[in-house]
Amino acid sequence: MRILIPLLASLAVTITGCSRSEPPIAAHSAGMAERPANTTKAPDSDNPAKPESAEATRLLAITSALVNPARSEADRERDSRDRPESVLALAGFGPGMTIADIFGGGGYYSEILSGVVGSKGKVLLINNDGYDAYAKSGLTPRLAEGRLPNVEYRIVPNEAMQLGNSTLDGAMIVMSYHDLYVVDLENGWPAVDAGQFIEQIAIALKPGGILLIVDHAARKGSGATDANSLHRIDEAFAKADIGTHGLELISSSDVLRNVDDPRSKGVFDESVRGKTDRFVHVYRKN
């Protein structure tokens, strides 16, 4: 409890200080606001939780997932760079939800989400062949011996992620949205139909469902032109691109911003690696 209290306080400050638009505190889809105070129980539609109680439940779930002693030391070290406590709180993900971690790579976020959604929820860790090959060494121990029983791992083609229709409470693409605009045939990454890819996610989200995007910021006005060379994408381009699929930007955060990043170097350049300027967007399906 001594660990939980300061982290919960930090989360409260983050939510009040980082959101620059409408915070996704209310339900993201039908029934999602009805989160019980006890996270070990399924939502009770006859006794809906008050909005502030539901938010507290979500924050506690995030905190508990992050302090889980089963997490690796490498993941804990990454926390300080990626600030998952703030990012997930902004998205409003919580117990009982079904969340897709798309292009989730080695599953860093999927493991955290596993604890956040709990035994009544589900996490879909979605990779294509390229991401599976890239992340194989990290995925094997993470998913070994059923240690994350509510995480379903899928290797799927870009054009057929098999997400279904209105099946998801939320989805997230962390530092991989720009890859929809990358073409690298030598390394096994063919062109992606970005519009069709995003539309699959939009269709799979329930009404009110949330899409969380985190990515490396490119120079203003550059659109997707830096995706291939620098693995960056313009924030304004992302907003317009995703918005064409009926997904409204409702909140954003500066928690991963770095004003000292010139945005002119590739994200793997040692001068900026691990400390790029990143935008955090939360979209809602209307």
For the cut 90, the answer to whether the pLDDT of residue 247 exceeds it is yes
- pTM across the whole model: 0.83
Angle, vertex CA 10, rays to CA 124 and CA 107, nearest 5: 20
The percentage of residues in the chain with a pLDDT greater than 90, rounded to a whole number, is 79
Residue 30 has pLDDT above 80, yes or no: no
Q: Quick one: average pLDDT of 148-176?
A: 98
Please report the pLDDT score of residue 89 as a whole number. 97
Query: What secondary structure letter does DSSP report for 267?
Result: T
Predicted local distance difference test score (pLDDT) of residue 2: 44
pLDDT band at 20 (very low <50, low <70, confident <90, very high): low
Kindly list the distances between the CA atom of residue 167 and the CA atoms of 29, 40, 80, 162, in Å, as whole numbers in the listed order. 10, 22, 32, 10
> Which band of pLDDT confidence, cut at 50, 70 and 90, is reported for residue 10?
low
pLDDT attached to residue 23: 38
- Is pLDDT of 169 > 80? yes
Is the pLDDT at 215 greater than 90? The verdict is yes
| Mean pLDDT of the region 203-229 | 98
Residue 7: predicted pLDDT: 55
With a cut of 90, say whether residue 227 has pLDDT above it. yes
Report the b/e string of 131-149 with b at 16+ CB within 10 A: beebbeebbeebbeeeebe
Print the domain residue range for 16.
4-285
Residue 187 has what pLDDT? 84
Q: How confident is the model at residue 52 (pLDDT cuts 50, 70, 90)?
A: confident
Residue 35 reports pLDDT greater than 60:
no
Read off the CATH number of the domain in which 91 is found: 3.40.50.150
- Listed residue (238, 103, 93) closest to 170, CA to CA: 93
**What value does the mean pLDDT of the chain take?**
87
What is the pLDDT averaged over residues 161-174? 98
Going by pLDDT thresholds of 50, 70 and 90, the confidence category of residue 174 is very high
Q: What is the DSSP letter of 215?
A: E
Could you give the number of structural domains in the chain?
1
Provide the pLDDT for residue 17. 45
pLDDT of 252 higher than 90: yes
Q: Is 25 helix (H, G, I), strand (E, B) or coil?
A: coil
Is the pLDDT assigned to residue 31 strictly greater than 70? Answer: no
User: At residue 279, does pLDDT exceed 90?
Assistant: yes
Average pLDDT of 162-179? Answer: 98
